[in-house]
Amino acid sequence: MIAVNKARDTSYLECDPDVRLMMRVREGDEDAANELTRQYHDYVQHTINYLLRGSQSTADLTQEVFLRVFRASSRYEPRAKFSTWLFTIVNNVVSNERRRMRKRRNTTLWQSSRMIRNILNPSSGQFQKPSRPPGVLKSTSSEK
């Protein structure tokens, strides 16, 4: 079984030039890292933009993908085409961002509904003047 895996790893090394670049990155070749970034930057950015439907955080997430690629370079094993491995990282970053956005949206909705309940007096249905936020002092007559 191990011989089959070695043969498969060798085949990707032979047929995918990006796998060879990534192997050079794994050895610490900065030029290879720059070349991979140059080749795949637009692909990653467009993919993230498409999957998140034009999110404003596309540039940050693109940077996060490449940081993960380079952090994982020492553990990289060519078991598939480089682009397949890269897309897996893109998909994981996008999934994490969707989870974060969903959590933030739910938190914001919860905070908004709580604020509305505090403004409306539930017993009378009347509008109740919101209390002064903490840290805001009442104006004194000497300031007028």
> Given this model, what pLDDT does residue 102 score?
84
pLDDT in tens, 12-34: 777 889 999 999 999 999 999 99
Which residue has tokens 């970034």?
Answer: 37
Count CA atoms within 13 Å of residue 28 on its CB side. 0
pLDDT in tens, 51-79: 998 878 999 999 999 999 999 999 999 98
Closest CA relative to residue 35, chosen from 79, 90, 82: 82
Q: 2-143, what's its fold?
A: Rna Polymerase Sigma Factor; Chain: A (1.10.1740)
Q: Left, alpha or beta for 125 (phi > 0: left; psi -120 to 50: alpha)?
A: left
> Given this model, what pLDDT does residue 61 score?
96
Reading the block at residue 108, the tokens are 């914001």
Residue 77 near residue 60, CB atoms below 8 Å: no
- Helix/strand/coil for 37: helix
Task: Kindly report the number of other CB atoms within 10 A of residue 121's CB atom.
Answer: 11
pLDDT band at 129 (very low <50, low <70, confident <90, very high): low
Delimit the domains of the chain by residue range: 2-143
